[in-house]
Amino acid sequence: DTAVSQTPKYLVTQMGNDKSIKCEQNLGHDTMYWYKQDSKKFLKIMFSYNNKELIINETVPNRFSPKSPDKAHLNLHINSLELGDSAVYFCASSAGRGQFFGPGTRLTVL
Give the bridge partners for 101, in sequence order.
92
By CB under 8 A, name the one of 24, 29, 48, 78 that touches another protein.
Answer: 48
User: Is the backbone peptide bond immediately before 8 cis, with ω within 30 degrees of 0?
Assistant: yes
Applying CB under 8 A, which part among 14-22, 38-46, 72-80 lies near another protein? 38-46
Tell the smallest beta-carbon distance from residue 34 to another protein (Å). Answer: 9
Tell the smallest beta-carbon distance from residue 18 to another protein (Å). Answer: 23
Q: Tell me the C-alpha distance between 5 and 26, whole Å.
A: 9
By CB under 8 A, name the one of 29, 47, 75, 107 that touches another protein.
Answer: 47
The enclosing H or E element of 100 equals strand 99-101
The residue among 3, 38, 2, 8 whose CA lies nearest residue 20 is: 8
Residues 83-102 that bind another protein (CB under 8 A): 90, 94, 96-102
Asked if 41 and 62 touch (Cβ cutoff 8 Å), the reply is no
Note the residues at the interface with another protein (CB under 8 A): 31, 33, 35, 40-48, 53, 55-58, 90, 94, 96-104
